[in-house]
Amino acid sequence: MNIQTKAVHSGDRKQPQKQIPVATPVHFAASWVCSDQAEQDRIFAAEEKGFAYSRYHNPTNEALEELITSLENGAGALACASGMAALQHSLMAALLDRRRKVLCARDVYGATIKLLMDVLGPFGVETTFVDTGDLAAVERAMEEEKPGVLLLETISNPLLRVSDLPALAALCRKQGTALVVDNTFASPLLVRPLEMGAHIVVHSSTKYLGGHGDTLGGLIVSDEEHLEAVRRLSRIVGPVMGPMECFLTMRGIKTFPLRVERQCRNAQGLAAWLRQQPGVERVYYPDDPQHPDAEVVSRLLPDGLFGGMVSFELKNAQSKEGAFEFLDRLKLIVKATSLGDVHTMVLYPWISSHRDVSPKQKQRMGIRENLIRLSVGIEALDDLVADVAQALA
């Protein structure tokens, strides 16, 4: 079944009653009454499928989990309260029976770095950073560090690097390392990391999957090997998404293939236009033949679908103040912290997504004070071009 069809149908209309609701209902109950204590005993022991307490299972959550499992072609899923909660939970599950050491891509979201260093670090998890675009460097680091987890983003935030997932998965299998991939920027429409050898995939469902800026959430999709650990930990830790957020996320996912296709087309058009502007120093977009990962992009991303994110550097705004002037002149594009919504959004990584990353590390990552990140929406491309043009003037 094609992903567009899965997005519309998976998860819905599976309740056992005679009359089945067309859309999955929102189940607000915290707990369920069983027919007898023996049944409740079997449910708690996972010997029988059923519902007892929403920290364990909820019908609305289960429908969303079935949907995202179908989209990513995984063994099972867990719906979490935020993308960061999903990422932390994934790392904990992957490290349960492995060395408490993470090898992390150099090019990742700033909060991911903070999670590794400031949250997991004090609990004994060591982190080393590596350029995952350099396979030889990754192989050396894996042999030296013997990490329990290799963590990376499918398309990196904010410079849109694309790592060779099949090659990295092969290195992980060789070392017994779990490959955890944040697939938020790509979405399952562009890349499905589990098909390429990843063990656990994470999404901030707030972004492209929800798509409308009205719900917060995170999703974990696991292979068979790690699913029991993901689910068992969740019954103890309780990072689960609320049922209303699950309902809204499911509703958003039904149109995500249409939205992301349009966002990719708009982003490609806007990137092409930006490359011709005298006020723009450099454009970052994966369709560029000069992209550092162009060969990997040609293998991993579908033809014509390069993602909805565009980053670029302003030529005459080498400081924070210069970037502010450009941003404040934008009229249509929404100046807010997020991405993947139907409306185009702009973010200044220096003060937001990578605010807490040290200047030295920003320099190593290639993040400069004149860098702007756009999450391109579904509006008419001409209107987006006009807004950026007047802000650049």
Catalytic residue among 6, 161, 207, 254: 207
Judge contact between 61 and 244, C-beta under 8 A.
no
Q: Is residue 55 flagged as an active site residue?
A: yes
Helices (H), the chain: 3-9, 37-44, 59-72, 83-95, 110-114, 135-145, 165-175, 187-190, 224-237, 243-253, 256-274, 294-300, 320-329, 359-365, 381-392
Q: Is residue 56 flagged as an active site residue?
A: no
Positive or negative torsion for Cα 326, 335, 368, 276:
negative
CA distance 160 to 377: 17
Element of type H or E holding 222: strand 218-222
Query: What's the half-sphere exposure (Cβ side, CA atoms, 13 Å) at 285?
Result: 30
Judge contact between 204 and 338, C-beta under 8 A.
no
- Neighbouring residues of 87: CB distance < 8 A, sequence distance ≥ 6: 112, 115, 180, 182, 202, 218
Catalytic residue among 55, 101, 146, 262: 55
Catalytic residue among 6, 56, 106, 109: 109
Instruction: Residue 289: count other Cβ atoms within 10 Å of its Cβ.
Output: 7
Element of type H or E holding 130: strand 126-130
Question: Cis bond leading into 158, ω under 30°?
Answer: yes
Judge contact between 309 and 339, C-beta under 8 A.
yes
Nearest partner of 347 among 212, 157, 113, judged by Cα: 157
Which residue has tokens 């996972």? 46
Judge contact between 196 and 63, C-beta under 8 A.
no
Q: Is residue 208 flagged as an active site residue?
A: no
Sheet holding 218-222, edge to edge: 76-80, 218-222, 200-204, 178-182, 149-153, 101-105, 126-130
Catalytic residue among 131, 164, 182, 288: 182
Active site residue ranges: 55, 109, 182, 207
